[in-house]
Chains A and B, each alone.
Chain A
Amino acid sequence: MMRYAYFPGCSLSSSGYDYDLSLKYVTKALGIDLVEVKDWVCCGASSAHSTSHLLSIALPVLNLSHAEKEGFDKLVAPCLACLSRFKAANVELSHDANLKKKIHDVFDYKYQGKVKVYHPLEVFLELGLEKIQARIQKKLKGLRVACYYGCVLTRPPKICQFDNVEDPQSMDSIVRALGAETVDWSYKTECCGVSMTLTRSDIVLKLSNDILREAKEVGARAIVVPCPLCQANLDGRQRQIEETYKTHYGIPILYFTQLMGLAFGAYPKEVGLQKLITSPREVLGTLGLM
């Protein structure tokens, strides 16, 4: 059995609740054990690195230390904001002796940098597509989706060291293994603007509209995402985007783990499909998937 420390991050206990639910369903089905990091705290996200570089490294280190103390050498972070902060902390500490000294000065426990950080996509690919396919009970035949990866799953490559930076394929390969069809499109790694969702909603609406429009133009019936922030933005703001740009999309924004769960035979509620603001009922219902 594969065992990982699990850092859900703040979003997965509120707006990304359905991501947490479906991720746990899928990992359980695949025999992957996720153990929540004890007493974890926020990774600091954009606000920490915009305020103090030292703080932006210290917050991930605090959580990585907890995992290391508990004897884990692998940690899973499903949110891209957390993931990129954790990976950056590990890389910067291993390259910058001065920074490492500063970090050791403010911590009682000296983090040794032994905990490797993974996104669930990396975990599933490491497990292998054959194992995923072996678990399928219901192929997602006829479903045409656009895989949207967001900004920081692959960027910058020096930190992320995962997938093709400008044209990632990891999620496409998993979704295709489930029997669905994925589209080629040029907005896979364009930013949805979520870091300014409260302060400059006008920018967020424009960037998210570009993504939804492109997905619709290439004929995708749904967008599949690996991050709770992209999901909250593209799904939660979809109504506002439609009003602002006088158009209609009605494109459900699904987590890739929800699609995996459905293919593994989960009931829609077991993977939180009822939680989506733009209902996937029409798209999935006509294909007999919901």
Chain B
Amino acid sequence: MSVTLSRDSLNLSHELRALTGENVLLCYQCRKCTLGCPSAYAMRMKPHELMRALQLGLTKEIYWSGTIWICLSCETCNTRCPQDINILRVIDGLREMSKNFNYYNPYPVIPSFHRIFLALVKRFGRVYELGIALMMNLRMLTPFKDIDMALPMLMKGKLKPLPHRSQGRKELQQIMARIQKLEGANK
């Protein structure tokens, strides 16, 4: 792949720095992030390649690879980075920014999971494990996925059929609404 650089190539890294405070230009490609990453084997663009692509401003390639959604948020890369770049914060920044772009995402079910998770939390105040599993199964068109795991857990009372409701959910809904308003106003 040939890359043509221009002044605009730095826009992405600058935007990301404004959002997260992290400077990706510090990366010198030692690959410690990739070597320690438990899900790098499943990434089309490895973590160190992601850092290089960020430096070069390859926004489309980054989103198309879907790497930001395969990251498990295990914090190994941050811990080991000799330049002290918080790579997970960078990835979270890219996840946050993905809403502003309209790029193809090879793994759309993963952001869907986060949306459904937060919608259920907003409704009940707490995670509804069985509910989110059923909704994800429907979303992925695999209604019976993991039924072999869920049944013994249901039998042992480790999965509750009904959601727990927290009395704090009204306050939570208020805070979530204020944040949404604040973040909407910044765009």
Contacts and interface: CB of A to CB of B under 8 A. Distances in A.
A45 B121 CA distance: 11
B21 to A, nearest CB: 8
Contacts, number: 175
Interface stretch (B25-33, B56-64, B75-83): B75-83
27 contacts: A10-B129, A13-B164, A17-B157, A17-B158, A39-B166, A40-B168, A42-B127, A44-B118, A44-B121, A45-B127, A50-B95, A52-B179, A53-B93, A55-B179, A151-B73, A151-B75, A155-B75, A156-B78, A191-B38, A191-B72, A196-B110, A199-B113, A199-B140, A201-B145, A201-B146, A236-B158, A277-B158
Given A47-B118, A156-B86, A240-B148, 18 more contacts: A14-B129, A14-B159, A14-B164, A18-B158, A41-B166, A42-B121, A44-B121, A50-B92, A55-B179, A62-B168, A106-B179, A155-B78, A193-B72, A196-B72, A196-B110, A202-B42, A239-B148, A277-B156
Interface in B116-159: 117-118, 121, 125-127, 129, 132-133, 136, 140, 145-146, 148-149, 152-153, 156-159
Contacts of A207: 38-39
B166 A40 contact: yes
Contacts of A10: 126-127, 129, 164
Nearest to A49: B92
A215 B178 CA distance: 47
Interface of A is mostly: helix
Contact of A195 (B20, B73, B158): B73
| Contact size range, B | 35 or more
Interface in B31-76: 38-39, 41-42, 70, 72-76
B73 A157 contact: no
Interface string B90-114: 0011011000000000010111011
Interface in A176-219: 190-191, 193, 195-196, 198-203, 206-207
B169 interface: yes
Nearest to A13: B164
A41 B125 contact: yes
Given A47-B117, A151-B74, A275 B79 contact: no
A144 interface: no
Contacts of B158: 14-15, 17-18, 232, 236, 275, 277
B126 to A, nearest CB: 5
Contacts of A51: 95-96, 114-115, 118
B42 A203 contact: yes
Interface string B160-184: 1000101111011001101100110
Contacts of A191: 38-39, 72, 74, 76
A45 to B, nearest CB: 8
Contact of B79 (A48, A52, A165): A165
B160 to A, nearest CB: 5
A207 B115 CA distance: 25
A39 B167 contact: yes
Interface string B1-34: 0000000000000000001100000000000000
